[in-house]
Amino acid sequence: MEDDQVRHRGYVVEDKQSYVGWHRFPGDPYKFSESPWRVERGAPLFGEHQPAVSQELASPSLWMRELAHFSDGHSHGAHALPFQGMRVVAFPTGVVGPSLTALLADQGAEVIAIESGQTAPRNVHRGQRYQVAADVVNARNKKRVSINMKTPEGREIAAKLIGMADVLAENFSARVMASWQLDYPKVRELRPDIIMASLQAFGNAGPRREYLSFGPILLAYSGMTYLWRDPSVERPGAGSQTAFPDYIAPSFGALAILAALHYRARTGKGQYIDLSQAETAASMIGPAYLERLVNNREPQPQGNFSNWTAPHGCYRCKGDDRWCVISVQTQEEWQRFCEIAGHSEWLSDPRFVDLEQRISHHQELNALVETWTVNFTPHQVMQILQREGVGAGAVQTAEDLYRDPHLRERGFAQEVYHPLAGWITQVGPTVWLSQKPNSLRYESHEPGQDNEAVFGELLGIASEKVKALVEQGVLR
């Protein structure tokens, strides 16, 4: 909270709450040039605004007009996807940029990804299949063109595409777009109402604006790595090295773009969105920051321990490195759990007689629970307990997720064919809309595959000219 970058960006804000009074709390991880976010009122008491909301709902004309504004002038068929008619030009890199634009493309946006690299190899050996599979996931439903941005001609072609776009998205380091003369002041000259979203690691302003980073580093910077570990280890290392922020920032970015589109539909104005990936990670652990900012206590890692429930943890099960999480919420659930486990004597044990005692003796309790769970697979434990209304969930491997019947039934696993890697199972949509088409598109193109189509249809460049530009090194 005292870091110079955090201070410069004003991520920590102040507001007044009904019974806490004035206090500091984490803000939002993005800055809008035209319509900055604001806090109109602090967190309310239960029912505090009941009369005002009831009165507002009685006169819905205002918010109905607001909804009507968000048509953006497009006329769609009954089964059109929400973003049909919206064109996004993107310079995606790493995970954040491709994931952000995939969210928009899944729902109908025409996404043109400008990539500077060479086209994909024609022959893929086994060691490259993972990279190709990841490419399928990130590139789905997009048009992919390959431009050499080191050439003036390449930058000129990119500028023409940007001038025909509703949204420009990029997540390069802060200096790149300006070096190409494609920062917001310049692209605004190409299209005055364009929405440009930059998703840098630490944001596009402040002393760390030019720092390069990726998910695990941002996890540590936010404090999540410190909290996400086992406190019982004497010399603890990182509890997780996952790139978790890489998959959070795209969702924040999509939301910010939606807000900017809504604003443009009402006012006709585009704007610049400056999003900090580090701040999106911090936004995931807001209660921990409030512990410091409001209660003046330094938050500490808890591992799987809970102050409110017991047993509560991750328990070893039958098999190699197999686990199941269990959370017993009420006294009635505790009684059922003991009966299921065949240990009714635990109910009369003074250490476990009520919730307070179970929390106080959680380590002894966890050891006993594990004497039961090790006799079953994680999915057996989950099903046995869930049938009796006790919260439990198997810790699933990638293989488990691949075969999970619930995900399969929801269409989360999609079978797609890649010309280099063959048939690949990739993730499907996490959101289903009631008025969606019968099937979603899951095409995956290679880098540069859409050069002729995009440059021909949008810019009127003849096929022979496109081939000549490839030979000249302007296109790839």
Please state the domain count of the chain.
3
* Domain identity same for 262 and 175: yes
61 by Cβ neighbours in 10 Å (0-12 / 13-18 / 19+) ranks as exposed
CB 113 within 8 A of CB 90: yes
Question: d(Cα 59, Cα 96) in Å, to the nearest integer?
Answer: 41
* pLDDT tens digits along 150-171: 999 999 999 999 999 999 999 9
- Residue at 455: amino acid letter: F
DSSP state of 44: P
- Residue 98 shares a structural domain with residue 239: yes
What is the Cα 83 distance to its own chain's centre?
19
Q: Note the pLDDT tens digit of each residue in 44-60.
A: 888 988 998 888 787 76
Between 19 and 352, the more confident residue is: 352
pLDDT tens for each residue of 377-395: 999 999 999 999 999 999 9
pLDDT of residue 119: 46
pLDDT at 377: 98
pLDDT score, position 259: 95
Q: Which residue has the higher pLDDT, 182 or 139?
A: 182
Q: Tell me, yes or no, whether 263 and 125 share the same domain.
A: yes
Q: How many CB atoms lie within 10 A of CB 57?
A: 9
- CATH number of the domain that 373 lies in? 3.30.1540.10
Residues 471, 201: Cα–Cα separation, whole Å: 35
A 10 A CB-CB count for 219 gives 25
Rounded average pLDDT over 103-110: 90
Write down how long the chain is: 476
The answer to the question of residue 302 being in a domain is: no
Q: Which residues contact 146 (CB under 8 A, 6 or more apart)?
A: 114, 115, 116, 117, 118, 119, 447, 448, 451, 475, 476
- Indicate the range of 301-315, 324-338, 404-418 predicted with least confidence: 404-418
Instruction: Answer yes or no: is 57 within a domain.
Output: no
Q: Is residue 193 part of a domain?
A: yes
Does 145 share its domain with 202?
yes
- Measured between its terminal Cα atoms, the distance across the chain in Å is 45
Q: What is the pLDDT of residue 159?
A: 97
235 and 100 share a domain?
yes
Kindly report, residue by residue over 65-89, the tens digit of the pLDDT. 655 655 555 555 556 788 889 999 9
**Tell me: the pLDDT tens digits for 403-418?**
898 888 888 887 777 7
Most confident of 13-27, 206-220, 360-374: 360-374
CA angle at residue 101 from 132 to 195, to 5 degrees? 150
User: Which whole-number Å values give the CA distances from 409 to 133, 406, 414, 423, 425, in the listed order?
Assistant: 22, 5, 11, 19, 14
- Helix axis angle for 451-459 and 152-162, nearest 10°, is 60
337 and 397 together in one domain: yes
In a domain, 413, yes or no: no
Place of tokens 């979603």: 440
Is 16 in the same domain as 40? yes
Same domain, 348 and 208: no
pLDDT in tens, 235-255: 656 556 778 889 999 999 999
Whether 118 and 78 have beta carbons less than 8 Å apart is answered as no
Residue 322: helix, strand or coil by DSSP?
A: coil
| 425 in a structural domain | no
Do 325 and 289 share a domain, yes or no? no
Q: Is the pLDDT of residue 121 over 50?
A: no
Asked whether 241 and 179 are in contact (CB, 8 A), the reply is no
Statement to judge: residues 273 and 370 lie in one domain: no
Task: Encode burial over 90-116: b for 16+ CB neighbours within 10 A, e otherwise.
Answer: bbbbbbbbbbbbbbbbbbbbbbbbbbe
CATH of the domain at 158: 3.40.50.10540
355 assigned to some structural domain:
yes
Nearest one of 261, 223, 173 to 1, comparing CA atoms? 223
pLDDT band, residue 61 (cuts 50/70/90): low
Dist CA 368 CA 345 (whole Å): 12
390 within a domain of the structure (yes/no): yes
**Domain annotation covers residue 410:** no
Mean pLDDT of the chain: 88
For position 15, what pLDDT does the model report?
A: 86
Q: Tell me: do 84 and 198 sit in the same domain.
A: yes
Beta bridge partners of 426: 414
CA 316 – CA 168 distance, rounded (Å):
48
Q: How many CB atoms lie within 10 A of CB 354?
A: 12
pLDDT of 106 over the 80 cut: yes
**Residue 99 domain boundaries:** 78-297+436-471
The reply to whether 230 and 145 lie within a common domain is yes
Q: CA 186 to CA 177: how far, in whole Å? A: 10
pLDDT confidence tier of residue 359, bands split at 50, 70 and 90: very high
Cα separation, 432 vs 410, in Å, equals: 9
